[in-house]
Structure formats: structure tokens, C-alpha cells
């Protein structure tokens, strides 16, 4: 009987053989896994290594999730892209380890050289690009050498997706957690962000609205904001 050859492929991170396959299937074959998720373990290690502010990161992460869900249809956001946005939200202040000024660029460079299990090289580049674009300041030409690898059109797509991270960070302006929750309402011409808070959030509102023109450019709709006071029962 002729045998039919089946081609199989295996995609691993650059050190996956040593710290993945060999550990799991040879060295520790009959022992319980040390960690449930190599990716989650890597992110936690980076968070501790650079002493990132987890409370602020989790606030930004929440807002990224809400915005991603609301804009999913408009931007055709895939499950993978949501995951990359989530990782970028958790690590967006990576560059603060160097200094505040241009920390988005420092964070991009650190993300490019960190060893993260569970991400392909392209995924890691995408997260680095999102981190580098989480502020209003334009990202200089540091990323040009990767443009051919990612493709010109996908770089444009990452710029569109970065509006989510930009808005999310400004919703936690001052890292004070003043904006508790957000609701997003869409109509034919605009998106309205309803910000729920029991504090004065005028600084956050001004910071969010600085992206009004960019939002219109990438989504073709107006960005509006409403502030809603939370009652004491929500405190």
C-alpha cells in the first residue's frame, strides 16, 4: 500500500525548543506543568522586572477591552489583534523604566529585545509598534526597518488599532482611576463615550478629545464624550 505523506508544521518562539518542547516532553514529561501559560508567565516576569504599575495597567486594559468590543465591527478586529492590544495595554509603560520623556519609544525598543514566550516574531513586532504609538507624539522612523517584514498595509492597520490604546490610556489620566467604567454608544455619524465617575475628570476629557481628529481620520466618525456622575451606591 502506498503511504501518503502528511506535511505538518510547528511554529515556536525562538527559544521554544529549549524552554518549551524539551522541558514539557522530555525533561519533565511525567511531572505537572510549572506554569499554565508560557505567555502569561512571560508578561508577569516583564511586569516585575520593570516594576510596572499593575493597577494603572489593569485600568487601561479594561478600557482597551471595552473599546475593542465596541469597535470590533468598524475596524474588523480579529481575536488575535484583541490579544495583541491586551498585551500592549499591560506593557504600554515599559519605557518608564528608562524615563518618562519618550517612554513610548523606549518601551518599543525594550519590547523588541525582550524574550516573550508564546508570541511569534511578527506578534512581538506588532505589540512593540502599538506600545510605540500609544501617545500623541508621532513615532519617528525607528520602525522603518520592519515595515517590509510587516507589510505597508498592515503597518497602516496597526496605526488604526493604536487609536484604541491611545484613548484607553487617557481614560486613566494621572493613573488615578477616576473613570470607573465606560459605555460606548454608536450611531450613524459618531461614537459617544459615556464616562462614569464620581470625580472631576475634566483633565481626562481634554486628553481624550486631543484624538478627536485622528479618530475621525481612522474611523470616519465623530468622537463625543458624555460624563455621568456615579451615585454613592457604586462606590
Cell of 215: 479618530
CA 216/CA 224 separation, integer angstroms: 11
- CB atoms inside a 10 Å sphere around CB 79: 7
Burial (Cβ within 10 Å: 0-12, 13-18, ≥19) of residue 104: buried
Rounded CA-CA distance 179/229 in Å is 10
pLDDT of 31? 67
Length of the chain: 235
Which residue stretches of the chain have pLDDT < 50?
Answer: 1-3, 231-235
* Whole-angstrom distance, CA of residue 229 vs CA of residue 204: 15
**What's the pLDDT tens digit per position in 146-167?**
888 888 888 889 999 999 999 9
What's the confidence (pLDDT) of residue 16?
59
Angstrom distance (rounded) from CA 65 to CA 23: 33
In this prediction, residue 39 carries a pLDDT of 87
CB 28 within 8 A of CB 34: yes
pLDDT attached to residue 183: 96
Q: Partners of 110 in the beta sheet?
A: none
Strand bridging mode 190-197 / 222-229: parallel
Q: What is the CATH number of domain 40-177?
A: 1.10.3210.10
The pTM for the full model equals 0.84
Q: Residue ranges of the alpha helices (H) in the chain?
A: 16, 22, 38-49, 54-75, 79-91, 103-113, 121-132, 147-150, 152-170, 202-209, 212-219
* Strand pairing category for 181-186 and 190-197: antiparallel
Question: What is the three-class DSSP state of 13?
Answer: coil
| Neighbour tally for 137: CB within 10 Å | 12
Q: What is the residue extent of each domain of the chain? A: 40-177
Three-state SS at 235: coil
80-106 residue pLDDT tens: 999 999 999 999 999 999 988 888 889
Amino acid at each position: 500500500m502506498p503511504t501518503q505523506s502528511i506535511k505538518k508544521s510547528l511554529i515556536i518562539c525562538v527559544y521554544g525548543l529549549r524552554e518549551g518542547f524539551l522541558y514539557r516532553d522530555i525533561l519533565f514529561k511525567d511531572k505537572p506543568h510549572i506554569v499554565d501559560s508560557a505567555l502569561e508567565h512571560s508578561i508577569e516576569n516583564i511586569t516585575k522586572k520593570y516594576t510596572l504599575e499593575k493597577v494603572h495597567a489593569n485600568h487601561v486594559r479594561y478600557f482597551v477591552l471595552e473599546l475593542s468590543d465596541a469597535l470590533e465591527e468598524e475596524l474588523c478586529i480579529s481575536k488575535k489583534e484583541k490579544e495583541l492590544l491586551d498585551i500592549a495595554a499591560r506593557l504600554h509603560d515599559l519605557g518608564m523604566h528608562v524615563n518618562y520623556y519618550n517612554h513610548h519609544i523606549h518601551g518599543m525598543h525594550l519590547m523588541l529585545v525582550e524574550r516573550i514566550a508564546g508570541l511569534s516574531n511578527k506578534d512581538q513586532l506588532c505589540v512593540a509598534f502599538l506600545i510605540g504609538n500609544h501617545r500623541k507624539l508621532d513615532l519617528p522612523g525607528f520602525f522603518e526597518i520592519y515595515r517590509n517584514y510587516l507589510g505597508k498595509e498592515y503597518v497602516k492597520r496597526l496605526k488604526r488599532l493604536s487609536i484604541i490604546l491611545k484613548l484607553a490610556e487617557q481614560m486613566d489620566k494621572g493613573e488615578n482611576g477616576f473613570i470607573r467604567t465606560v459605555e460606548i454608544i454608536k450611531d450613524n455619524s459618531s461614537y459617544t463615550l459615556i464616562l462614569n465617575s464620581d470625580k472631576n475628570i475634566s483633565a481626562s476629557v481634554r486628553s481624550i478629545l486631543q484624538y478627536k481628529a485622528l479618530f475621525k481620520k481612522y474611523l470616519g466618525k465623530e468622537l463625543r464624550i458624555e460624563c455621568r456622575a456615579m451615585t454613592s451606591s457604586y462606590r
